[in-house]
Each structure stands twice: as C-alpha cells, then as structure tokens.
Amino acid sequence: MDTLNRFTSLPGFLKRYEDLIIREIVPYQEKILWDQVEGAEKSHAFENFLLAAQKLETGRCEGTFYGMVFQDSDVAKWLEAVAYSLRIRLDAALEKRADEVIELIARAQHADGYLNTYFTVKAPDKRWSNLEEAHELYCAGHMIEAAVAMAECTGKTRLLAIMRRMADLMVKHFITENNEGFPGHPEVELALMRLYRYTGEADYLRLAQRFIDTRGSDFFTREREHRQWAIWSGHDDREYTQTHLPVREQRDAVGHAVRAIYLYSGMADVARETGEPALLEACRALWESVTRRRMYLTGAIGSAYEGESFTRDYHLPNDTAYAETCAAVGLVFFARRMLEMEKRSEYADAMERALYNCVLAGMQLDGTRFFYVNPLESLPGISGEAVTHRHALPQRPKWFTCACCPPNVARLLTSLGRYAWGLDEKAITAHLFVPGRLTLDDGAAVTLSTAYPAEGKLRFRFEAKKLPVNRAFALRLPAWSEHTEIRRNGSTAAYEERDGYAVLLGPFHDGDEVTVTLSMTPRRIYPSVRIGADSDRVAFTRGPLVYCAECVDNGGHVLNLQIEPESEIRVVPAEMLGGVATLRVQGRRLSDDGELYAYTRPQAEPCEITLIPYYAWSNRGLTEMRVWLPEA
C-alpha cells in the first residue's frame, strides 16, 4: 500500500530539506529550465518543447534542439517534484505554471501520441530507430512518472492522459506490431509499473515485462548494423547497456550504475507483481553484489568515471570515485522495492545510508548548487583539474549540461513518506525515522516525534479514537545501533525480532506510545582488507551519518592527519552545517619538510581532529576533504 498520500512530515532534520525544495529549489530549477539563472549552464529544456509545438503547429520552427538527447527528462522530473510539492503545500501560482507547462507538452505531442522533442525538432524521420542511444523510452518513462505523481497528488489527470497516449503507442509498437527492442537506458520499466498500478491497465504490465524479458539479446548490435546514424559512438559495450546477460542470469552489478539500478528497480517491481521466483532471486543476488561488494561507505555506487560504472568487487577508489548522485537516488528506489517484497532491515539500512549521505551531499545546504559526482576524498588542484580527476569537482556548480541529478534529488526529498513507512493489512512498518504523521483508516494515525539523526530518541504515538489499530507495529533495528531499547507505554516492550525488525503485536489504542532509544555513540568503521584504497585507514559514523575531515577545521590540510587508535571520540553540538553534531578525535599532524621523498619519518605533533557530516562538506569554500583517514 503506497504511503505517499498518507504521510505528513513534521518539523525535523529532513523537513528542512523538504521546505528548502518547495521554497527555493523547485522555483530555482524552474528558472534554470527557462535559462533564467545567470552563470548557470544553459538548459533550453522548456524551449525544446516550444520548438516542438511550433513545428507541429506550423510545419517549421525558429530554432534548433539544444542539450542532451534526454533533455526532456529534466522537465519530467521537475514536474514530478512539483506534484509532490503541491501535495505538501498548496501554491496556486506554482500550480498554474505547472498547468501551463503541461499544456505546452500537450502541444508538443504528435497526433498518434508520440512525444519526444529531440525527434520532433531534430530527427523526425528516425523515431524508434536508435533505442540504444536515443533515450526515447527513458524520457517517456520519466514523463509517465510525473504524470502518475500529478494525478496521485493533485487529482489532475491532464498529463496522465497525455502520457497514456504515449504509453498506448509504445504498446502498439512493441506488442501489437511486435517490433523488437528495449531501452538502452532502463527507466521506463519501473514507470510502466507505476502506470499499471495506478490505472489497472494490464498492457502496461505486459510491456514492462517484455522489456525486461527481452533484455540480454544482441538487439543493439543488429540495430546498429541497420541504422545509418548515431548520437555518440555507437560502441558495443554490452555491460554498459545492461545487455550482457538475460536479467535472470545476472549476478554481478556491472556497467553504467544508474542504468543498472533503474533496471534492478524495474525487475523488482515486476517480480513483486508476478511473484516469479527466478526474477526475485536475480534481484537478491544483484542487491548483494551492489551493497556487499561494490558500495561506498556513504551509500554511493559506481566507482569509475569511464562509463559511469561499476567495475569489480572491492574496487572503491576514493578520490576518483564517480558515485553519481542519481545512482544513490536509484539505490533508494531499489531498496524500497525490495522492502515491498520482503521486509529485511538490510534494505532499509542501505536506503538510509544512501539518503543521509550521498543523496544529501549532492545538494548544497542552500539548495542552489549540486554535485553530480560524490568523491570520498577531494584535493584542490587535483580534483576537478587533473585529467584523471576532472569529473570529481571540489565545489558544486550551479547546474550541469547533463542535469539529471538535481531534479532527481528534488523529487526524492519531497516524497519521503513513500520510503519512510510501509503499510499493509497486517502491519505498520517504520523503515526510516522521519518525523511525521501517517494516516491509517477510520481516522486512526501514528505520529513519530524525534530529533533524529541529531539524537536517537523516537516517540511513536497512536491515535485511534473510533476503533483500536488491529495491526502489528514493526520498526527497523538499525545495524549501526549497538543497543536499542524499546518501551511500550513506559514499560519494556515485548516484541519478536524478524529479519532486523522489532514486531510489536496489536491492538494499539488511542494514546498508546512506543518509545525507542537508539545508541548514538560514534563508531569507528574499518574497511575490508580487500579494499586496496582504504588499507590501514579508518572512518567515523554516528547514527546513519558518515563523517569526514575538511581542512577548514584542521589547520589547512587533511593529508597530513593521522588518527590515534582507540582515542576517545567526542560529540560536539554544532549550529552550523544543518545543526548536526561534529566529532572530535585525537590524532597527529605530520610535518612537511618539502622533499618529495625522504629517508626519515616525518615529525608528528599531537592534535585534535574535527570531523563533520559528509553531507555538509564543501559548503565553506574550496577545501581538502577525506572520509578515510590513516591510523597512526
């Protein structure tokens, strides 16, 4: 049962981000899409729709398509974030502007339902001929997601009607007419599943299944041989395009990380709907590959710039990490879908880690600058400049030529109710600890009050004025919490632990409370000895947050810092950087004698090392940064 429209957030850590997105980021991104922000990369995304509409209405257009071939998807993700924003806070002016954008999209749609500004403006005779590179299905998928979100959150179905016409055209092309093919960039699979669940139209489920079932063939090779044009190089890297194996045979996460994680999300959606064991088993194996052998401590995935890709087990370089923000967003999507099939805390643990660290780091605290790449070590003068490090910028830019990440963050952080809670006929489940109110049935509700992640105290209060809540209540027992105390109406609670969740049996009456105390003691984290980049290093966490050292707090450098083993970790309250505590730990600062190499060990002096939450790094100017620090 989708909890999106049942959840209302309350003041707290993530509420600040929700408010920031509604107040600042959605309007800022709207201006970006209209090319109205001075000094930002040009988008032209709305203009592309104007040109497409003009061409369909007059037979010609005064201008050319600009941007990436998937530029339409930026508009789609913005509209999806708008839908969630309007659900949270009514804004008549924003709603009117969104309606105008949707009417512009309608004008850019062909009579047969086809919608894609690149092909309408630039290549009208080439539609469906380059599924490998052209992102037609990817763009359609994101616009379908926006359409469903708009209908769910506002009740308005204009965009839904537009995108159902496009989806019906896709059904006709790939199923009725039996044309071969599947998307080079997965995404439409999960979008079709959202559309199927909202409308009940079985053809959309059939098309999602078809795209998943046919993946793994040599279709792109044959497509390349027959077409006479390309967008990029037309390379035959089957891991990159996720066509190296049929999906049910895949066991290792390879290739382009965002394509992979969107594919896995679609696979999980279909597996949940059909109950097919082989597809579920593939999802489990791929989850383990991603999170147990190829994921960074911050929840980031994708270790190589080349191909924006996974590489091999335990290859997790810090300063050249790709760690795309979109990939972390996608990991949240995949985790939620796995939770819908089987309630295991490891899914929610990874979802939380990606959300609070890599996803939040992808956006500056004021919401006006964004990271595409999220390295775990940054060195000004090398990061963003050396040929091997140009992708790993040390400071967030205002926008990108390829701007998939900023609107992805916006649509995720305005729909957290969908990820924080699970609800079915038997149980209410707290996956993430986001303060807010979850509405149940017959006027019942459960409210979570907490200062998490600054503190580890959670207070769940039930409202049940008509009838008791006859469901079990399950809450995640985070793997990072060494000691978790659960009380029910003041007394030690009786519960059963199931796959990392504490399950308390109902009924719950009006005013019943469940209070939870999580251990927020800072902890050292040590890497696997198989991660070469982190040999003899240590990192620090507190609750769900990963910490890092910036030179602004540590004498101007971090490369010369070493941690004293077993030294005390102090928690220091802080008002800066979102109000979450900093950590202090004893260490040593090594001297630099100016020589490139020397026969003598560097001199060291004791020092106190300050660590800040990783999500907040690069908010105070150009700085060195490290997550993994050597021990003395």
Q: List, for residues 53-73, the tens digit of each pLDDT value.
A: 999 999 999 899 999 999 999
In a domain, 155, yes or no: no
User: For residue 277, is it within any domain?
Assistant: no
Looking at the fold, whether 512 and 428 belong to one and the same domain comes out as: yes
The last residue of one of the domains, among 470, 498, 518, is 518
Burial degree of 187 (CB within 10 A; 0-12, 13-18, 19+): buried
CATH classification of the domain holding 455? 2.60.40.1180
Could you give the CA distance from residue 421 to residue 419 in angstroms, rounded to a whole number? 6
475 lies in some domain: yes
* Pairing of the two strands 309-310 and 255-256: antiparallel
514 and 562 together in one domain: no
Question: In the structure encoding, which two tokens stand for residue 148, read together?
Answer: 């469903």
ω before 453 within 30° of 0 (cis)?
yes
541 and 616, same structural domain? yes
The range of the structural domain enclosing residue 430 comes to 424-518
Pair (512, 556) in one structural domain? no
pLDDT (tens digit per residue) in 465-489: 899 999 999 999 999 999 999 999 9
Q: What is the pLDDT of residues 134-147, one digit of tens each?
A: 999 999 999 999 99
The 10 Å Cβ neighbour count of residue 71 is: 25
Same domain, 496 and 534: no
- When pLDDT is cut at 50, 70 and 90, the band that residue 228 belongs to is confident
In a domain, 562, yes or no: yes
Q: Is residue 565 part of a domain?
A: yes
Number of domains in the chain: 2
Q: Return d(Cα 483, Cα 477) in angstroms, integer.
A: 9
Same domain? For 476 and 545 the reply is no
pLDDT tens-digit readout, 335-386: 999 999 999 999 999 999 999 999 999 999 998 899 989 999 999 999 999 9
Domain termination residue (choose one: 484, 518, 552): 518
Residue 556 falls inside a structural domain: yes
pLDDT of residue 407: 87
Residue 51, φ and ψ in degrees, nearest 5? -65, -40
Span 70-96, pLDDT tens digits: 999 999 999 999 999 999 999 999 999
Q: Which pLDDT tens digit goes with each residue over 404-459?
A: 888 899 999 999 999 999 999 999 999 999 999 999 988 899 999 999 999 999 99
CA 176 to chain centre: 34
Supply the residues annotated as catalytic: 308, 404
Give me the amino acid identity at 370. Answer: F
Q: Report pTM.
A: 0.97
548 in the same domain as 514: no
Q: Are residues 490 and 562 in the same domain?
A: no
> What's the whole-number mean pLDDT along residues 520-548?
97
Q: Which alpha helices (H) appear in 248-357, and where do they start and end?
A: 257-274, 277-293, 325-341, 345-353
Residue 41's pLDDT is 87
One domain for residues 565 and 470: no
Question: Do 533 and 617 fall within a single domain?
Answer: yes
Amino acid identity, position 157? T
CB 584 within 8 A of CB 609: yes
- Domain-embedded: residue 473: yes
- Residue 613 within any structural domain of the chain: yes
Last residue of a domain, one of 518, 536, 564: 518
171-186 pLDDT, tens digit per residue, is 999 999 999 999 999 9
Tell me which residue has tokens 């260490």: 587
Residues 487 and 511 in one domain: yes
- Helix, strand, or coil (residue 574): coil
